[in-house]
Amino acid sequence: MKVGLQQNIKLGQELRINPRLYQAMDLLYMPLLDLQQHLKQELVGNPFLELVEPTDGDAAENTDSAEKEDENEVDWEDILLDGFEMGGRREEYEEREYYEPIAVATRDLYDHLRDQISLLRLQPREIFVAEEIIGNIDDTGFLTCALEEVVDSLNRFLDSEEAVAAGFGEEPHFDLEEVARIMTIIQALDPPGIGARDLRECLILQLRDQEMEGSLVYEIVDKHFEKLVSHRWAEISKELGVSPREVQSAADGIAKLDPKPGLQYSSGEGNYIIADLVVEKIDSDYMVFHNDTALPRLRLSRSYREVAKDKAKFKGESKEFISNKLNNANWMLQAIEQRRQTMLKVMNFIVNRQRDFFEEGIEHLKPLTLREVAEVIDMHESTVSRVTNQKYVQTPRGVFPLKFFFSSGLSTDSGEDVSARGIKARIRKLVNDEDPKKPLTDQAIVDILKREGVNIARRTVAKYRDQLGILSARMRKRV
């Protein structure tokens, strides 16, 4: 076989995406707050973009102020030609950098437990064990590892060089009994139920804190927990010699306990949503508005644009720099407007299609797919997906993600389709209105929906019920 280099000519077509197209798709994908930060960065990095002040819309005021500005006009031409080396103070030519406010760190569950440990009369060795245990408690308040693993971790530390520096070099190794004793101390801290290894232990700790040892509630949790979870009231009542109604009443009391006690001290902050779009009902019509008042208003800088007109004065890198920045500024303004118009097109179609939802509620939500919207507004399905991703709309019925309005559908006897989300809402309403002593089975729900003209299978009802977190009829039955 002959080895060598060869040259071949090949004719073909290849699809390549312009880098700016990638950026345009990213702009479509960005939610409102991300876009706000992106535009601020563009404003800092591109001298051909400037911020539109609220008073800039007043033409008369601008005309009067223009004459005053001419007297103290900055020589932008010299600045550009001189590589932006501006004499004097920077504040004369640029806005001061804007710093986004940073949330102050809040105290979490770990801090809360450590504060309580510091108030106890514990030896340094005991405090060391307690902090190791606390470090393995998650945000919900449960211990995430076995005590044997805590013992191994502590002993590995004692065998390390760090232990000598920390003053634990001559300490004897830890054993399970010592760690278990400290674990008992931690489980007596606030909130009740902290440090449990499973849900059963968490409930028992809370009942002990309420001094309910020996009660029916405590005995059910302690000795009949599996039957409690399965709602097997008859079996529990037979074994304990009490009536099923008493067992169910005790179970209602157990349900009031906190299954995740650590969350009340969680450091997680609430997520605030700023809607990208607003739908308002004006007279009998629903109007769509873009909620972009918080976005920086950008425009081409007049001063830089005037200087850039005389291309003969710029050469080499200066000329390339000005050309690139001016083109990028023009493109950015066009991309922002294109994003705005695309979002309005999509939302206007959704409002027209889902008018019954805005008028009568979720049960009247119609099935809708991304492809349907894409075909009507003459855009690709992937573009619609980017527009609706992580975007929210404020409506007279509340704030919803745009994805909320898209769901599969089921056929009806009238020939119209009904949204799966609307069917779920109907199932939830039927369960809420049912007789607790005779709860509706999945087949009973199927029969009711069929009488209402909705064709649905029993397994579909069971699937929707599970997605809604609704128990089966046997588990919902009250004695």
Q: 441-456 burial, b for 16+ CB within 10 Å, e for fewer?
A: bbebbbeebeeeebeb
Of the pLDDT bands very low, low, confident and very high (cuts 50, 70, 90), residue 328 is confident
227-270, pLDDT tens digit by residue?
Answer: 999 888 889 999 999 998 899 999 999 999 999 999 888 765 55
Per-residue pLDDT at 24: 66
The H-assigned helical ranges of 135-215 are 147-158, 161-165, 176-186, 199-209
Pick the more confident residue, 313 or 368.
Answer: 368
Please give the average per-residue pLDDT across 420-439, as a whole number.
88
Q: Which DSSP state fits 405?
A: G
Half-sphere exposure of 428 (CA within 13 A, CB side): 13
Q: Provide the whole-model pTM.
A: 0.62
Assigned fold of 409-476: Arc Repressor Mutant, subunit A (1.10.10)
Of the pLDDT bands very low, low, confident and very high (cuts 50, 70, 90), residue 453 is confident
How far CA 383 is from CA of 22, 26, 407, in Å, comes to 12, 10, 18
**Percent of the chain residues past pLDDT 70, beyond the cut:** 78
Per-residue pLDDT at 37: 82
Please give the average per-residue pLDDT across 40-55, as a whole number.
75
Please give the average per-residue pLDDT across 129-155, as a whole number.
91
Alpha-carbon distance of 275 to 291, in angstroms, equals 7
- Sort strands 392-395 and 398-401 into parallel, antiparallel or unpaired: antiparallel
Pick from 116, 132, 124: nearest CA to 183: 132
Please give the average per-residue pLDDT across 339-356, as a whole number.
88
378-429, pLDDT tens digit by residue?
Answer: 888 888 888 888 889 999 988 999 888 887 767 666 656 677 888 888 899 9
Pick from 15, 31, 35, 97: nearest CA to 332: 35
Per-residue pLDDT at 338: 84
Are the C-beta atoms of 264 and 231 separated by less than 8 Å? no
Residue with tokens 């054993």: 175
Q: Is the pLDDT of residue 96 over 60?
A: no
Q: Is the pLDDT of residue 449 over 70?
A: yes
Of the pLDDT bands very low, low, confident and very high (cuts 50, 70, 90), residue 209 is very high
Average pLDDT, the chain: 79
User: Helix 233-240 to helix 244-254 angle, to the nearest 10 degrees?
Assistant: 110
Give the number of other CB atoms < 10 A from CB of residue 384. 26
**7-21, 54-68, 166-180, 207-221: range with highest mean pLDDT:** 207-221
145-166, pLDDT tens digit by residue?
Answer: 999 999 998 888 888 877 777 6
Of the pLDDT bands very low, low, confident and very high (cuts 50, 70, 90), residue 218 is very high
Give the helix/strand (H/E) hosting 347: helix 316-353
Per-residue pLDDT at 73: 44
* 401: helix, strand or coil: strand
Per-residue pLDDT at 82: 45
Token digits of residue 139 = 């945000």
Alpha-carbon distance of 145 to 153, in angstroms, equals 11
Per-residue pLDDT at 195: 92
